Amino acid sequence: MRVVCIIPARGGSKGVPRKNLARIGGRSLVTRAVQSALAAPRIDAVVVSTDDAKIAAEARGAGARVVDRPGDISGDTASSESALLHALDQIEESPEVTVMVQCTSPFIDPADLDAAVGRVLDGVADSVFAAMESHEFQWREVDDRGVTAVGHDATQRPRRQDRPVHYRETGAFYVMRTAELRVLKHRFFGHIAAQPVPPEHAIEVDTATDLALARAIAPIAEPPESLVVDAVVTDFDGVHTDDRAWVDQDGTESVAVSRSDGMGVSLLRRAGVPLLILSTEVNPVVAARARKLKVPVLHGLEDKAAALRKWMADEGYDPARVAYVGNDVNDLGCLALVGWPIAVPGSHPEVLAAARITLTRPGGAGAVRELCDRILRARGTSARTEQQSKDGDI
């Protein structure tokens, strides 16, 4: 092994408890770190150093080897270098290059990470770190009388494009020669280089606010995934509807649905992708809409997750290739069972955090159609066949 990536991931985070297990876009921070490292071609192995059993299980599930981190180097004051050196001692063959990836950076592009590794392997640099270009005017407080300019002349205000580039360390990854790391016990040495990363990848999660911000920008910070599934399961209220209901004087409820959703379901059925509706709602409107769409429905359920688990087992579906679309906390169990947990805009914050994909159209206003179109594109089926499916079943 020429290159080994080590991911320190202790369980005792103070700012955000169990931070490394917090989910963004349906994946935990530790899973994101492992998957980014595994996707970098020049990295030969990924090791997670942790003192936490749940983090260890999550890391193994993502494809990493786990090293148990001793308590004396797992506290708040322990350095990241101590975790690196301990993990290196547990590896049978000492690598030429050591990479450290930090879980607190959720949006690591494997291409940027791989480029940094290449610069060390090729001898261009001895130590490389992830950095964001900055043209900011920075100031430092010197005493109670005020501040002083850092890195610029306060009397000169050149345009942004005329200022020299500065770099802000993002904390996402560090690449270094192992021999020097072992001797110097520090990540910076020799010829040090910065690996530029885009601003949307530079966020670091240290606080609850950072976590909320990362969850909010996930849809734009990452490229859309190709939605390859074998089956689709949806909630009803809030997905097929906008979560409102009209009640007349006799107590009869009615809801509004989107005809475009109906067309999408029709196209999906014609492409051979089965769809199931699961709902806790007992109102017959759910079954009536399912009949119109010509899809099976299970409603009036107390435990949707149990029903979904049984349905996938009975039908022989691999949960990793099933999509579930929900919007509220009673969908969390179902979202956790499938490989493609999906939310609609305006969903409960916990649902948005659990979702691998958040759609752009709201429930009842084309969310199901958007989902169907994405699946059809992934299967190479064009929505242009729409004209061939106007058979009155929407």
- Report helix, strand or coil for 310: helix
pLDDT of residue 163: 80
Question: At residue 43, does pLDDT exceed 90?
Answer: yes
CA distances (Å), 341 to each of 6, 23, 311, in order?
A: 29, 12, 16
Q: Residue 48 is part of a domain; what is its CATH number?
A: 3.90.550.10
E strand or H helix that includes residue 7: strand 3-8
Query: Are 209 and 60 contained in the same domain?
Result: yes
Q: Is residue 394 part of a domain?
A: no
| Average pLDDT of the chain, as a whole number | 91
Query: Are 301 and 162 contained in the same domain?
Result: no
Amino acid letter at 318? D
Query: Are 64 and 193 contained in the same domain?
Result: yes
Query: Are 255 and 381 contained in the same domain?
Result: yes
* 236 burial type by CB count under 10 A (0-12 exposed, 13-18 middle, 19+ buried): buried
Q: Is residue 177 part of a domain?
A: yes
Query: Are 288 and 360 contained in the same domain?
Result: yes
Question: At residue 393, does pLDDT exceed 80?
Answer: no
Query: How open is the CA angle 332-275-62, to the nearest 5 degrees?
Result: 45
Count of helices and strands (H, E) across the chain: 12, 19
* 183-206: average pLDDT: 95
pLDDT of residue 230: 96
Query: Are 149 and 251 contained in the same domain?
Result: no
Query: Are 159 and 195 contained in the same domain?
Result: yes
Q: Is residue 226 part of a domain?
A: no
pLDDT of residue 386: 45
Two structure tokens written together for 44: 């030969």
Of 178, 203, 221, at which residue does a domain stop? Answer: 221
Query: Are 257 and 207 contained in the same domain?
Result: no
Of 179, 201, 221, at which residue does a domain stop? Answer: 221
Helix boundaries (H) for the chain: 29-38, 53-62, 80-90, 110-121, 178-184, 208-221, 259-270, 285-293, 304-315, 332-337, 349-354, 367-378
Q: Is residue 73 part of a domain?
A: yes
DSSP string, 174-202: EEEEHHHHHHH-SS--SSEEEEE--GGG-
Q: pLDDT category, 381, cuts 50, 70, 90? A: low
- Name the domain count of the chain: 2
Conformational region of residue 69, where left means phi above 0, alpha means psi within -120 to 50, and beta covers everything else: beta
Q: Which domain holds residue 287?
A: 231-389
pLDDT of residue 220: 83
Conformational region of residue 358, where left means phi above 0, alpha means psi within -120 to 50, and beta covers everything else: beta
Q: Is residue 121 part of a domain?
A: yes
DSSP string, 128-172: EEEEEEE---EEEEEETTEEEEESS-TT----GGGSPPEEEEEEE
Give pLDDT tens digits for 318-357: 999 999 999 999 999 999 999 999 999 999 999 998 999 9
Nearest residue to 109 (alpha-carbon basis) of 170, 21, 28, 178:
170
Give pLDDT tens digits for 126-183: 999 999 998 888 898 988 879 998 888 888 888 878 888 889 999 999 999 999 999 9
Query: Are 329 and 207 contained in the same domain?
Result: no
Query: Are 377 and 335 contained in the same domain?
Result: yes
Query: Are 193 and 268 contained in the same domain?
Result: no
Q: Is residue 180 part of a domain?
A: yes
Query: Are 186 and 253 contained in the same domain?
Result: no
Beta pairing partners, 48: 7, 66
Q: Residue 317 is part of a domain; what is its CATH number?
A: 3.40.50.1000
